[in-house]
Amino acid sequence: DQQVKQNSPSLSVQEGRISILNCDYTNSMFDYFLWYKKYPAEGPTFLISISSIKDKNEDGRFTVFLNKSAKHLSLHIVPSQPGDSAVYFCAAKETSYDKVIFGPGTSLSVIP
Amino acid sequence: GAGVSQSPSNKVTEKGKDVELRCDPISGHTALYWYRQRLGQGLEFLIYFQGNSAPDKSGLPSDRFSAERTGESVSTLTIQRTQQEDSAVYLCASSLLLGTRSSYNSPLHFGNGTRLTVT
């Protein structure tokens, strides 16, 4: 049973445009969400997070939106750059429990 | 060191042999996690440590898999009698942990993984 879902295995975007990566979750106890970026042959690196008390968190070109009622979050990258090409993982956890569950990932390609 | 260190970076082993994978977390990080990524798949949770204890071993695929952590630092993941389906990248991560009742959440910091190939 996949508790964190990323239904788009891949996404292709033109340089300079907006990239929108989506994530859905099923466990209503999740209250902290993270996005990670992974390049080949490297470990995932932390990008941005959001707590369930917020509906938006912004850090430079990266913004995460959380819709708790829909159990949906999204990562917006604007403007997209070729160096953003990587696999993006959505992850979730309960604050009172330390297990972090990852989605299957979305491979983003930013075309110059 | 500055980041999470894993060794070896690559391991090729014959089916049936035992392997041991090592993780050195970031100094001061009390929580340590092991994940597995098979080819074309997402990150599969295996086990995590809070200090030296492992509150959640639910992700270990079989009793051939075990992990330990000593001194709230180094952790080893051991796979006995390896099978071809064990081939994957094994990722270790660490984070600060301020208690399971804390309202503070800390992101995981990952190592570059050990690529295990069982022939």
Please give the residue of chain A at the shortest CA–CA distance from B6. Answer: A43
- Residue B97's pLDDT band, with cuts at 50, 70 and 90, is low
Q: How far is CA B34 from the centre of its chain?
A: 3
CA distance B111 to B9: 10
- Residue B103's pLDDT band, with cuts at 50, 70 and 90, is very low
- Interface residue B99 vs chain A (CB under 8 A): no
Task: Judge whether residue A49 has pLDDT over 80.
Answer: yes
Phi first, then psi: give them for residue A106, nearest 5 degrees: -130, 125
Residues of chain A positioned with their CB less than 8 A from the CB of B97? 98
Average pLDDT over every residue of A40-64: 94
- Interface residue B35 vs chain A (CB under 8 A): yes
How many A-B residue pairs are in contact by the CB < 8 A criterion?
58
- Residue B107's pLDDT band, with cuts at 50, 70 and 90, is confident
pLDDT at B98: 53
Phi first, then psi: give them for residue B85, nearest 5 degrees: -70, -10
- Interface residue B93 vs chain A (CB under 8 A): yes
- Interface residue B102 vs chain A (CB under 8 A): yes
Q: Cβ separation of A100 and B100 shorter than 8 Å? A: no
Task: Judge whether residue A46 has pLDDT over 70.
Answer: yes
Q: Cβ separation of B42 and A98 shorter than 8 Å? A: no
Place of tokens 């690559």: B10
Instruction: Please tell me which residue, A60 or B51, carries the higher pLDDT value.
Output: A60
Best residue of A98, A102, A107 to probe chain B, by most B CBs closer than 10 Å: A98
Preceding amide of B8 cis, omega within 30: yes
Please give the residue of chain A at the shortest CA–CA distance from B89. Answer: A41
Q: How far is CA A100 from the centre of its chain?
A: 14
Task: Judge whether residue B28 has pLDDT over 70.
Answer: yes
Amino acid letter, residue A110: V
Three-class SS state of A94: coil
Q: What is the pLDDT of residues B31-89, one digit of tens each?
A: 899 999 998 888 999 998 988 888 788 899 999 999 999 877 999 999 999 999 999 99
Give the mean pLDDT of chain B: 89
